[in-house]
Amino acid sequence: MTNIHLNKILILDFGSQYTQLIARRVREIGVYCELLPYDIGDDFIKDFNPKGIILSGGPDAVTLDNSAKAPNIVFELGVPVLGICYGMQTMATQLGGQAISADKHEYGFAQIKCEDNQCYLLSELRDDTHNITKHALLDVWMSHGIKVSALPEGFKLIASTDNCAIAGFADEKKHYYGLQFHPEVTHTKQGKHILERFVVGICRCEKKWTTDNIIANLIQNLKKQIGKSNVLLGLSGGVDSSVVAALLHQAIGAQLTCVFVDNGLLRLNEGDEVMQTFANNMGVKVIRANAQKKFYDALSNEDKPEAKRKIIGHAFIEVFEQEARKLDNIKFLAQGTIYPDVIESAGAVSGKAKVIKSHHNVGGLPKELKFKLVEPLKELFKDEVRQIGVKLGIPAHILYRHPFPGPGLGVRILGQVKQEYAGILRLADAIFIQELYNHNLYNKVNQAFSVFLPIKSVGVTGDERRYDYVIALRAVETIDFMTARWARLPYDFLDFVSNRIINEIPRISRVVYDVSGKPPATIEWE
């Protein structure tokens, strides 16, 4: 079997908002990589045995005395190193160069001029194909207020801009490279080619990280880990748990039992769809736990968002535990943990990230159940999980539908959650999503949903006065969900959806559209 971890790149994270994008781009090239805090420790870096190291960007100022620095071992291993933005600046200062505060900051689009010295990393790449100049020009994305002012000994200039005399440098004997711009973002048009030249051409990594190889490795590892034992999985119907269910079913068949907790906070007909897809079509053993009353009762007197999340999480664990105790010989508990979850749990970089909202899974089960964890997706990003799902035959409407919060409609109903409110919201949301599909808009936005507002508004239906609830529609465009802008959906479309919702759902008198970006708003309302 192919060793998909043999060739690997280590990415040291200095806190950039784009760091996970670097890892995703390296994976897309076909090479395994891991993302770790810059201060992970010399022994770990040495034992990791990377074929190359990438130093990410970050918010720190390299000109400060206590600024973050790359571990010295990075420059002692004899492997290629690529510094991006802050990573370039700290590489320069640590190796004897200098950096200063820039007179003119650069945030956003910029054009770099490639120098004539033909550095392999940038040679023969250009975006100015319609108006070719002496020096090749590349369209890139900048984000910096500090710039390298003097090169370390042995380095040469490979790129510059009008505002940044040293936008790229290289010591090709040692295979050290620095780029002030961000090759990992899509705005840098040649970014993937640049990263591929570093990872494959300079680091000599083979492209072993492919969907087929990943699936083969996962199935073999699952068989080895589980043996003849039985496995329990909490199946939500979301992307991650669905792919885990399909993987385990292929690896161990009847040894898998799934518990689907129907909490009454799901989308319209979602419970029936989960049972149809997995139990009826794929032959997976699924137990449907109908616990709607339990969840509504637990939420009856609570209106605070964070408290609602915790109530839903605790109720889920209680129901899941009850179902687990009914089963015999369960040794393993499977979870849909993915790589971003691992990164966040590890508190990458500083561990100082503030909690915006809590999440829940089945991690709070009593220890006396003595389950061992199975987390087959913990090395994978969401896009990689989806690609595996396609290969395993999971329907596209499950794999590629918009994100849905773990607490479900419980955090899309503002304030107190009632069964009546959930029923109204389900119908409104179904209309909104259905019409996005009908008008070929669903895949042009990254997340869309409806929100129930527990306030009443005066309206007119026919000749009668109506005094009923308000529905807010939300649709956003985003790359990484860390920032987002509200989607500019056509007015005619919004008019059509609003009319359908008000005309077809008796308890709604008004529909509004959310035009808040993230930041300052969050994508979800609670």
Please report the pLDDT score of residue 483 as a whole number.
82
SS3 322: helix
Nearest to 193 by CA among 134, 266, 126: 126
The model's pLDDT over 368-378, given as tens digits with 9 standing for 90+, comes to: 778 999 999 99
How would you label 74-86 residue by residue, b for 16+ Cβ within 10 Å and e otherwise? Answer: bbebebbbbbbbb
For residue 51, give the DSSP letter: S
For residue 357, give the DSSP letter: S
HSE of 407 in the Cβ direction (CA atoms, 13 Å)?
27
User: Is cis: bond before 80, omega within 30 of 0?
Assistant: no
Is the predicted pLDDT of residue 130 greater than 90, yes or no? no
How would you label 412-431 residue by residue, b for 16+ Cβ within 10 Å and e otherwise? Answer: bbbbebeeebbbbbbbbbbb
Reduce the secondary structure of 137-180 to three states and give it as a string: EEEEEEEEEEEEEECCCCCEEEEECCCCCCCEEEECCCCEEEEC
Q: Lowest mean pLDDT of 317-321, 446-450, 495-499, name the range.
A: 317-321
Q: Which of 85, 119, 164, 203 is catalytic?
A: 85
Distances (CA, A) of 162 to 181, 183, 241, 299: 14, 19, 50, 59
Please report the pLDDT score of residue 370 as a whole number.
83
User: Is cis: bond before 395, omega within 30 of 0?
Assistant: no
Which of 141-155, 285-299, 338-352 reaches the highest mean pLDDT? 285-299
Q: Which residues contact 297 (CB under 8 A, 6 or more apart)?
A: none
Please report the pLDDT score of residue 134 as a whole number.
67
Q: What is the mean pLDDT of residues 110-114?
A: 89
- Known active-site residue 85: yes
Please report the pLDDT score of residue 178 as a whole number.
97
Is the predicted pLDDT of residue 275 greater than 90, yes or no? yes
Please report the pLDDT score of residue 397 as a whole number.
87
Distances (CA, A) of 263 to 4, 43, 259, 335: 39, 46, 12, 19
Please report the pLDDT score of residue 103 as a whole number.
67
Pairwise CA distance, residues 318 & 312, whole Å: 10
The model's pLDDT over 37-72, given as tens digits with 9 standing for 90+, comes to: 999 999 999 999 999 999 999 988 888 888 999 999
In DSSP notation, 376-403 reads TTTT--HHHHHHHHHHTT--HHHHSSPP
Is the predicted pLDDT of residue 353 greater than 50, yes or no? no
Q: Are 287 and 258 in contact (CB under 8 A)?
A: yes
Run of H or E including 225: helix 211-226
C-alpha of 100 from chain center = 34
The better pLDDT of the pair 247, 124 is held by 247
Please report the pLDDT score of residue 359 as a whole number.
41
Which domains are seen in the chain, by residue range?
A: 8-202 (3.40.50.880), 214-399 (3.40.50.620), 416-513 (3.30.300.10)
Please report the pLDDT score of residue 355 as a whole number.
40
Give 408's pLDDT tier (boundaries 50, 70, 90): very high
In DSSP notation, 491-521 reads HHHHHHHHHHHHHH-TTEEEEEE----BTTS
Q: Which of 114, 119, 172, 182 is catalytic?
A: 182
The model's pLDDT over 288-300, given as tens digits with 9 standing for 90+, comes to: 999 999 999 999 9
Is the predicted pLDDT of residue 144 greater than 80, yes or no? no
The model's pLDDT over 473-496, given as tens digits with 9 standing for 90+, comes to: 999 998 767 789 999 999 999 999
Mean per-residue pLDDT over the chain, rounded:
90
Q: Are 241 and 231 in contact (CB under 8 A)?
A: no
Pairwise CA distance, residues 439 & 495, whole Å: 13
- Residue 344 CB neighbours (<10 A): 11
How would you label 102-114 residue by residue, b for 16+ Cβ within 10 Å and e otherwise? Answer: beeebeeebebbb
Reduce the secondary structure of 414-470 to three states and give it as a string: CCCCCHHHHHHHHHHHHHHHHHHHHCCCHHHCCEEEEEEEEEEEEEEECCEEEEEEE
- Known active-site residue 258: no
Please report the pLDDT score of residue 348 as a whole number.
41
**Paired tokens of 272:** 């029936």
- Known active-site residue 205: no
Is the predicted pLDDT of residue 126 greater than 90, yes or no? no
Pairwise CA distance, residues 220 & 13, whole Å: 31
Nearest to 77 by CA among 52, 44, 41, 40: 52
Please tell me the pTM assigned to this model. Answer: 0.85
Pairwise CA distance, residues 192 & 310, whole Å: 41
How would you label 260-276 residue by residue, b for 16+ Cβ within 10 Å and e otherwise? Answer: bbbbbbbbbebbebbbe
Q: Which of 184, 323, 384, 524 is catalytic?
A: 184
